[in-house]
Homo-oligomer: A and B are copies of this chain.
């Protein structure tokens, strides 16, 4: 029997009414002839409530107890979903992580999945169960304790189940109806993509298009799990949403698939750094230890043994970054003349697997920005992405101009 994995996030199961609504979608796939594994999150707000209690009880909490507490929200939804399906005469039962068992390592609160044995669920499918409702976000450690998978854990759970059970597809139901060429709040011309390649989705996810957690896309790419992102609030449509899949499934790739942005970026420059071997390691080692999420890094040409070193990071980490490099200077690990931070910048990127085989994308991008009088402060490129830092006030203008320049409104 073909198998589907369907994952419903917290807003999709926030009330008993919404659980009933999404259960109908599950029922439709059963009617279509599928066995289904449903992965559920906690009802919206429940996990935050539990996390709040843990943090209030113990600021430096034992992560094993944190996991035991916060995993309970998913268990509630799983049971309620199974009951709802049973009311619709669909043979269903709930599974908690340890019952499957979803085996993880012992990194509590951010555990990694190690194995999902299929025997237990498959035995029940063979007995006539049509839907296994699995509590997402949780597993069991080698020591027999409950683990949670950290941020985006339910998406990751869903993809891992799809990989382990060889599912035909993994449908991620959320509160948006797919992946767009850019943020529809910024450009009214934004168009929903029918398909997008894993690599593109990864770049978009890491750029702040928060449709899917990066980790789940990575896993899907590794195991070639076809992911569909769609809304649980839209009417049923077998072709709804956006399919995230391998490049090979996308007949003719666009050169550029989307325009992404990240609003709160800061550009920090260390001026006249003494340029010697190991200096970059010293600087970025210090920043990493301080928990600064460094994104772009640019080193200008060295003159007379000194160079300027520029990096970008989230705006709210600038003071931490300053403290870290000043501390490293005091310990004479690094030597520089001054530090300049520009906290009024943003990052705009164009992403597309077609860039691999097309040249001139960068020139076209810079030309479009130039035509709007937008000055580019920093540039970085990868195989399928070009990113620039620009003044934050130009964010919307730049996104709209690039969306137009690459014809994203009509492509596809």
| Complex alpha-carbon distance, A145 and B57, angstroms | 30
Q: Is the CB of B82 within 8 A of A76?
A: no
Q: What is the predominant secondary structure among interface residues of chain A facing chain B?
A: helix
Does A168 make an interface contact (CB < 8 A)? no
Known: A16-B57, A56-B16, A99-B144. A78 touches B68 (CB 8 A): yes
**Chain B residues positioned under 8 Å from A54 (CB to CB):** 79-80, 83
Which residues does chain B contribute within 8 Å of A94, judged by CB atoms?
A: 65, 68
Q: Which of chain B's residues have a CB closer than 8 A to the CB of A69?
A: 75-76, 79-80, 83
Q: Across the interface, which residues of B come within 8 angstroms of A96, CB to CB? A: 68, 146
Please tell me if the beta carbons of B86 and A19 are within 8 angstroms of each other in the complex. no
Quick check: A53 and B16 within 8 Å, CB to CB?
yes
Across the interface, A82 reaches (CB within 8 A) one of B62, B72, B73, B98, namely: B62
> Is A58 in contact with chain B by the CB < 8 A criterion?
yes
- Complex Cα distance, B94 from A69, in Å, reads 10
Cβ of A87 < 8 Å from any Cβ of B?
yes
Question: Per-position contact with B for A63-91: 1 when CB-CB < 8 Å, else 0?
Answer: 01110110111011011101110110000
Of B19, B50, B72, B78, which one neighbours A57 at CB under 8 angstroms? B19
**Quick check: A62 and B50 within 8 Å, CB to CB?**
no
Q: How far is the CA of A194 from the CA of B157 in the complex (A)?
A: 55
| Given A54-B80, A62-B82, A69-B76, 9 further pairs, Cβ under 8 A | A58-B83, A58-B84, A58-B87, A61-B83, A62-B93, A65-B83, A65-B93, A69-B75, A99-B145
25 contacts between A and B (CB under 8 A): A54-B83, A57-B83, A57-B84, A57-B87, A58-B83, A58-B84, A58-B86, A62-B86, A64-B93, A65-B79, A65-B83, A65-B94, A66-B79, A66-B83, A68-B75, A68-B79, A68-B82, A68-B96, A69-B75, A69-B80, A69-B83, A71-B75, A72-B72, A72-B76, A98-B98
